[in-house]
Amino acid sequence: MTTVTGDRLEDVWATRPGLVGWLGAVNHKQVGQRFIATAFVFFLVGGVQSLFMRYQLGSPESTFLDPETYNQLFTMHGTTMMFLFAVPIGEAFGIYFVPLMLGARDMPFPRLNAFGYWAYLFGGIFLYSSFLAGSVPDSGWYAYPPLSGPEYSPRSNLDFWLLGVTFVEVSGVIAAFEIVVLILRFRAPGMAISRMPLFVWSLLVTATMILVAFPPLIMGTVLLELDRKVGTGFYDPAVGGDPMLWQHIFWWFGHPEVYIILLPAIGIVSAILPVFTRTRIVGYTFIAAATVAIGILSFGVWVHHMFTTGINLLGLTFFTAGSLLITIPGGVQIFAFIATLWRGRPVFKPPLLHVIGFLVVFVFGGLSGVMVASVPFDWQAHDTYFVVAHFHYVLIGGVLFPVLAGLTYWLPKMTGRLLDDRLGTVAFWLLFAGFNLTFLPQHVVGLLGMPRRVYTYPSGIGWDVYNLLSTVGAFVVAAGMAVFVADVVRSRWRGAPAGDDPWGGNTLEWATTSPPEPFNFRVIPIATTRDPLWDERPLDLAGGPAWRRELAHPVVSRREMVSTSVLDAAPHEVLTLPIHSLWPLGLAAALGVFLIGVMVDRTSIGLVGLAGLAVCVIGWLWSRQDEP
């Protein structure tokens, strides 16, 4: 609920009161907060699904789950973790923190940003409504045809998957689009591209990759849905199609996806390390260049997911080389991180603990990755628990630990309350120990021949004890997460006040209040070094050109932000932003109605959705919504 303060800046940036104000909020912090919270809830849901699976696998010949339910669970777990958690959480951090780090006040297109969130939420709900309909997707998180095609999945379960994932992908592309334009055009005056925080570099590369990698998957899913609904045969050899086409399209997206997930995490680590080692990051330029190199190289390795599909020898050699090559920039980053730790004076608080968790677990996952990048080994390990162990090391090391590091680091900025160090440390050790207990034995059981995606196994073939350990480990992880969540909840009421800058940070988000004012910065900061808060403390917030004073004390009730030039961030012009809009919600809802129409084969519902889309697009374009 807002009250009129008499301060024009505060009043115009305040969220409108009531439910309508909440639904129509477009500011990046509200959208970012919703994104982060929603992604985290999806993560917890995916985590619960994994517990069910682990409980089933804890003993041989268990009948806790039937095979069909097991298939549904691993499909929904993988889909949730990859599409509803790992990618959105990286973008969510970007949406909340990049504007703050850049000294900006909002995203460039706030209404579109809000639409991105609603599309994400509705996409997730759409996917999960398959449980209500009793028709849950069960073809794995990459939905290979022919299994996912009309012949072998005749019910609506795969339609839920295809339409839901498409919805979520659209949201991902929109967020990426926002982030690219934001970073190129709205950096604080003086923050030349060579001075951007490494977190911002990583998001720039990630978002660019999303723009190139996600649309093909959207197209691929559209083609599969056409096969299912219209009866075309893009993936059906009987009419000249080819199921391998899906694999190419999927992994063209899917492998960059791994780095799309990973790079924001690298960015989080680069943000935290210098602050918690009290030293500047070692090799800024190398880390930034390696980030760009990974972005480019990641598009050259997709076939390594298809080594067992009969690709010719030249192709295999090329993609093996590509897969190995990408470890070089990855290695550069890891060495730079280790060197920073080495040079500094580490402060072992939870954010740094999680960063170290990332380094250890991720490097381990990278090593087993080098093993499966070699074709002869992959032919052996393919589709066994060795691969399950490998990708969980990469994903949990590369996403979960950095995300928890990021949350423990930045939550005080978002809420104004500190988390508890002791609880944070307990949570970390439970997670770290539990994780290794879960996944280390899986390498062994994989090499012993246990295939992935089996709902049970016979006793007495040497797999029992490894699986039992894995299951115990999974529950230890769950305990660690419970402690983490309890700490977050506790801090809301009992956490000590964080102050503006609890860690002695180097980047601009620590120059504003905690939680940040709705307009982020009354006076737009000017950044002339890579660590502005370390080099200029306190920041020079007085004086400067006329526009700077006018933005601090506006003469009109408008949300205003200054745009800057792409390379050297010289001020360009003052832009006005929308304040409040229900069109994004309307548009996402209309899109949802359209997809439901497709889903249930009801043209009338589809047409209603289309009409809604048209109305919302026109209303959106016609209105500016930048006046109170």
Applying CB under 8 A, the residues found at the interface with another protein are 108-109, 173, 176-177, 180-181, 184-185, 189-190, 211-216, 218-220, 223, 226, 230-234, 236, 239-242, 245, 248-249, 526, 528, 536, 540, 543-548, 562-563, 565-566, 568, 570-575, 618, 621-622, 624
Q: Taking the complex as a whole, how short is the minimal distance between the CB of residue 235 and another protein, in angstroms? A: 9
Using the minimum distance from each CB to ligand HEM, give the nearer residue, 75 or 166.
Answer: 75
Q: Taking the complex as a whole, how short is the minimal distance between the CB of residue 165 and another protein, in angstroms? A: 15
Q: Taking the complex as a whole, how short is the minimal distance between the CB of residue 222 and another protein, in angstroms? A: 8
- Picked from another protein, ligand HEM, none, the partner binding residue 421 (CB below 5 to 8 A depending on kind) is none
Q: Taking the complex as a whole, how short is the minimal distance between the CB of residue 398 and another protein, in angstroms? A: 24
Contact string 477-506 vs ligand HEM (x = CB under 6 A):
x-----------------------------
Tokens of 112: 């579109």
Using the minimum distance from each CB to ligand HEM, give the nearer residue, 202 or 563.
Answer: 202
How far is residue 366's CA from residue 372's CA, in Å, rounded to a whole number?
10
| Number of alpha carbons in the 13 Å side-chain half-sphere of residue 311 | 20
Q: Taking the complex as a whole, how short is the minimal distance between the CB of residue 188 and another protein, in angstroms? A: 10
Quickly count: other Cβ atoms within 10 Å of residue 374's Cβ.
15
Contact string 523-542 vs ligand HEM (x = CB under 6 A):
--------------------
Q: Taking the complex as a whole, how short is the minimal distance between the CB of residue 208 and ligand HEM, in angstroms? A: 22
Burial class (CB in 10 A: 0-12, 13-18, 19+), 3: exposed
Q: Taking the complex as a whole, how short is the minimal distance between the CB of residue 253 and ligand HEM, in angstroms? A: 14
Q: Could you give the C-alpha distances from 388 to 159, 431, 496, in angstroms and in order?
A: 26, 18, 41
Contact indicator for 390, 368 with CB cutoff of 8 Å: yes
Percent composition of the chain: helix, strand, coil (DSSP 3-state, to 5): 70, 5, 30
Residue nearest to ligand HEM (CB): 78
Beta partners for residue 384, in sequence order: 451
- Picked from ligand HEM, another protein, none, the partner binding residue 27 (CB below 5 to 8 A depending on kind) is none
Pick from 278, 343, 422, 453: which binds ligand HEM (CB under 6 A)? Answer: 453
Using the minimum distance from each CB to ligand HEM, give the nearer residue, 268 or 400.
Answer: 400
How far is residue 571's CA from residue 529's CA, in Å, rounded to a whole number?
17
Contact indicator for 613, 621 with CB cutoff of 8 Å: no
Using the minimum distance from each CB to another protein, give the nearer residue, 138 or 257.
Answer: 257
Stretch that binds ligand HEM, among 392-400, 403-411, 417-425, 461-469 (CB under 6 A): 392-400
How far is residue 251's CA from residue 550's CA, in Å, rounded to a whole number?
50
Q: Taking the complex as a whole, how short is the minimal distance between the CB of residue 235 and ligand HEM, in angstroms? A: 18
- Picked from ligand HEM, another protein, none, the partner binding residue 531 (CB below 5 to 8 A depending on kind) is none
Q: Taking the complex as a whole, how short is the minimal distance between the CB of residue 593 and another protein, in angstroms? A: 20
Contact string 53-92 vs ligand HEM (x = CB under 6 A):
xx-------------------xx-xx--xx--xx------
Q: Could you give the C-alpha distances from 566 to 28, 182, 571, in angstroms and in order?
A: 21, 10, 10
Tell me the one-letter amino acid at 426. V
Considering CB under 6 A, how many residues would be counted as binding ligand HEM?
26
Contact indicator for 529, 195 with CB cutoff of 8 Å: yes
User: Tokens 């020898």 belong to which residue?
Assistant: 313
* 3-state SS assignment for residue 499: coil
Helices (H), 282-374: 284-297, 313-325, 327-343, 350-372
- Picked from ligand HEM, another protein, none, the partner binding residue 392 (CB below 5 to 8 A depending on kind) is ligand HEM
Using the minimum distance from each CB to ligand HEM, give the nearer residue, 250 or 435.
Answer: 435
User: Tokens 């004012």 belong to which residue?
Assistant: 517
Using the minimum distance from each CB to another protein, give the nearer residue, 244 or 289.
Answer: 244
- Picked from another protein, ligand HEM, none, the partner binding residue 240 (CB below 5 to 8 A depending on kind) is another protein
How far is residue 549's CA from residue 96's CA, in Å, rounded to a whole number?
25
Using the minimum distance from each CB to another protein, give the nearer residue, 8 or 229.
Answer: 229
- Picked from another protein, ligand HEM, none, the partner binding residue 75 (CB below 5 to 8 A depending on kind) is ligand HEM
- Give Cα 624 distance to the centre of its chain: 30
What single string gives the DSSP state of each residue in 28-91?
HHHHHHHHHHHHHHHHHHHHHHHHHHHHHHTSTT--SS-HHHHHHHHHHHHHIIIIIIIHHHHH
Pick from 185, 255, 304, 392: which binds ligand HEM (CB under 6 A)? Answer: 392
Tell me the one-letter amino acid at 351. P
Pick from 83, 97, 117, 141: which binds ligand HEM (CB under 6 A)? Answer: 141
- Picked from ligand HEM, another protein, none, the partner binding residue 621 (CB below 5 to 8 A depending on kind) is another protein
Burial class (CB in 10 A: 0-12, 13-18, 19+), 279: middle
Quickly count: other Cβ atoms within 10 Å of residue 606's Cβ.
18
Q: Any idea what the Cα angle at residue 250 is, between residues 249 and 251, rounded to 5°? A: 95
Contact indicator for 594, 603 with CB cutoff of 8 Å: no
Contact indicator for 577, 561 with CB cutoff of 8 Å: yes
420-439 residues near ligand HEM, rule: CB under 6 A: 435, 438
Tell me the one-letter amino acid at 337. F
How far is residue 477's CA from residue 356's CA, in Å, rounded to a whole number?
17
Stretch that binds ligand HEM, among 49-57, 207-215, 266-274, 496-504 (CB under 6 A): 49-57
Give yes or no for residue 173 binding ligand HEM (CB under 6 A).
no
- Picked from ligand HEM, another protein, none, the partner binding residue 226 (CB below 5 to 8 A depending on kind) is another protein
Using the minimum distance from each CB to ligand HEM, give the nearer residue, 392 or 548.
Answer: 392
Contact string 309-348 vs ligand HEM (x = CB under 6 A):
----------------------------------------
How far is residue 274's CA from residue 292's CA, in Å, rounded to a whole number?
21
Positions that interact with ligand HEM (CB under 6 A): 47, 50, 53-54, 74-75, 77-78, 81-82, 85-86, 140-141, 388, 392, 395-396, 399-400, 435, 438, 452-453, 474, 477
